[in-house]
Amino acid sequence: MSFILYQNQLLPREKGKVDMEDRGYQFGDGIYEAIRVYSGQMFLLEGHMKRLVRSARELRIKLPCSIENLTDNLKQLIKRNAIGDGMVYFQITRGAAPRKHYFPDGVSPVLTGSATLFPRDKHREEGIKVVLAEDIRWLRCDIKTLNLLGNVLAKQKAHENGAEEAIQHRGDIVTEGASSNVFIVRGGKLITHPADHYILNGITRLFVLDLASKLNIPVVERTFTLEELFAADEAFITSTGNEVKPVTQIDDHPVSDGKAGEITLKLAEAFDRAVNRVKRATLS
């Protein structure tokens, strides 16, 4: 039997019901996080929780419980579902109330969550194909909201073209993937869009920036153009699900020689070492 989290309780999956007037359902009025689980342990938990608190603050959604309480419940959820390598997903909506656009008085937030198996990708080194998609999203992409239609349409374009991800751009400027951050390498330097309102500041992005600094790989957080993307020596995406994944083809163009780049693989290996440390610590 699988279990879900509903408010402060674990319930059998089939008992999970949503009110049809929940504002998450009607307006996408809510926030979420997706956290990777390795050997039953949540990875980069603190960063995810910090971002959740920030998303809630920006949208003036009251968290229904403390972060400690939420963390304990998510740990129980992982245990009850016997998740080794997996993914925890949870969302908090503003709550259920008769439909009106402004925040209804006295509405209480609704928390729901799940934990599922999500094995690590064994073919990561092969790299992925991506397509380009105009970034049509709103201007607060820094908030992790349930409103993902721009991302959904971009990902659908990727799917229809046999690609794994869509790299979004506003005019000439590359912003981020449909559900990932984008990095390029030029002349030994990492370049990625600054963490402003045009992108989600990925927890994996932040972790990779930290790995780069430990490996003495120079980093520049600045915008870059489509032209720079096509001329890049290497390109890769980062996200909770993808970890560090090389991009080897953009539309019909290979990135450099069409193989995963050296710096990309160095970072991917450093990421693996961090995951393996978590796994070893769990075993001992």
Catalytic residues: 144
Specify the stretch interacting with ligand PDD by CB under 6 A; choose among 56-64, 76-84, 114-122, 176-184: 176-184
The one segment of 8-16, 179-187, 265-273, 274-282 that binds ligand PDD by CB under 6 A:
179-187
192 lies in the site for ligand PDD, by CB under 6 A: no
Cα separation values, 233 from 174, 188, 281, Å: 16, 8, 36
CB 61 within 8 A of CB 94: yes
Query: Using an 8 Å Cβ cutoff, are 191 and 185 in contact?
Result: yes
> Which of residues 159, 233, 241, 278 is near ligand PDD by CB under 6 A?
241
* Rounded Cα gap, residues 58 and 221, in angstroms: 23
Identity (one letter) of the amino acid at 276?
N
Q: Nearest distance from residue 33's CB to ligand PDD, in Å?
A: 8
Phi, psi values for residue 273, rounded to 5° = -60, -40
Q: Which of 112, 114, 204, 248 binds ligand PDD (CB under 6 A)?
A: 204
Site string for ligand PDD, 31-70 (x = CB under 6 A): ---x------------------------------------
C-alpha to C-alpha distances, 28 to 22, 166, 272, nearest whole angstrom: 9, 22, 35
Interface stretch with ligand PDD, choices 154-162, 219-227, 233-241, 253-261 (CB under 6 A):
233-241
To ligand PDD, the closest distance from the beta carbon of 182 in angstroms equals: 9
Region of 93-101, 199-207, 217-225, 257-265 interacting with ligand PDD (CB under 6 A): 199-207
Residue at token pair 């820094």: 142
Q: Which is nearer to ligand PDD, 96 or 154 (CB)?
A: 154
d(CA 196, CA 207): 17
Per-residue x/- marks for ligand PDD, 124-153, CB under 6 A?
Answer: ---------------------------x--
Q: How many H helices and E strands in the chain?
A: 7, 15
C-beta of residue 38 within 8 angstroms of C-beta of residue 47: no
Interacting residue ranges for ligand PDD, rule: CB under 6 A: 34, 151, 176, 179-181, 200, 202-205, 238-241
